[in-house]
Amino acid sequence: MAASTQRVIHYSFVAEGVGVSLELWEPIAVSRSAPPYRFRWRQQFPSERDAYAALQHYIQANAVTLAIASRLTYLPTTDTEITLG
């Protein structure tokens, strides 16, 4: 698959006081003065299992070809890549 047709997202699970938040974003190449993502979304779930299910649903519904687990920072740094199939 050509790089231009890949749909890449970054995601992070964040432990909250009660439950887990899923944050995901789609990176884009921009200047340093703008956020490095097309969008950023965060939602809290009652459990890690529910957050993971939401991530899987997003991946399937949006034809994501690569999901990268990242540390949660303004400019995400890659920790792990997962292969989708």
Q: Per-residue pLDDT tens for 59-73?
A: 999 999 999 998 654
Q: Per-residue pLDDT tens for 28-57?
A: 876 676 777 888 899 999 998 999 999 999
Mean pLDDT of 9-31: 87
* pLDDT score for 4: 60
Domain ranges of the chain: 3-83
User: 13: which strand partners?
Assistant: 22
Least Cα distance to 20 among 40, 49, 44 occurs for 44
- Tell me the C-alpha to C-alpha distance, in Å, between residue 69 and each of 33, 37, 81: 24, 15, 6
* pLDDT score for 50: 94
